Amino acid sequence: MTSLILAISLLLSTPNDKALPWCSRSPLAEHVVADFKEIVEAEGAEADMERRLYDLSRLPRDSVIHIVDERLCERAARAYYRHRLGPTPRGGVFVMRIGNRYAVYGANRAGEWTIVSIFSLQFDPIVSIGR
């Protein structure tokens, strides 16, 4: 019995040699980046309202940057899934820096909508929106 418990504990404590990536390899990344470039650069009352919804400023297009640094994606994933019960979903998160904000997409859903969360640069939550 003791050897069985020891064997199980060794299996559970063995580190995973192939850690999954924290940064998502989503094929939609280019589309999402283009959407946010349009949001931050657009002019007019409707564009201003959409930026207020995301708590973003009017910025040049090149202020929207797709993040692929694994350490930053890990921080973003931990903030994004902070209130989710159970294990962190596989597949990582998609992260963009937009001026002084991070926009993070992952597997959190609201019906048919995927949730994008906007965070400060310290990963303090600002707003979450279904898109």
With beta carbons less than 8 A apart as the criterion, state whether 56 and 100 touch: no
The pLDDT of residue 73 is above 90: yes
Q: Which residues contact 49 (CB under 8 A, 6 or more apart)?
A: none
The pLDDT of residue 33 is above 60: yes
With beta carbons less than 8 A apart as the criterion, state whether 130 and 110 touch: yes
| Whole-structure pTM value | 0.81
First vs last C-alpha separation in the chain = 52
Residue 24 CA: distances (Å) to CA of 7, 34, 50, 70, 96: 34, 17, 25, 10, 11
Higher pLDDT, 91 or 39: 39
Q: How do the domains of the chain map onto residue ranges? A: 24-84+91-130
Q: What is the pLDDT of residues 5-20, one digit of tens each?
A: 444 444 444 444 457 7
Q: What is the pLDDT of residues 85-111, one digit of tens each?
A: 888 888 899 999 999 999 999 988 888
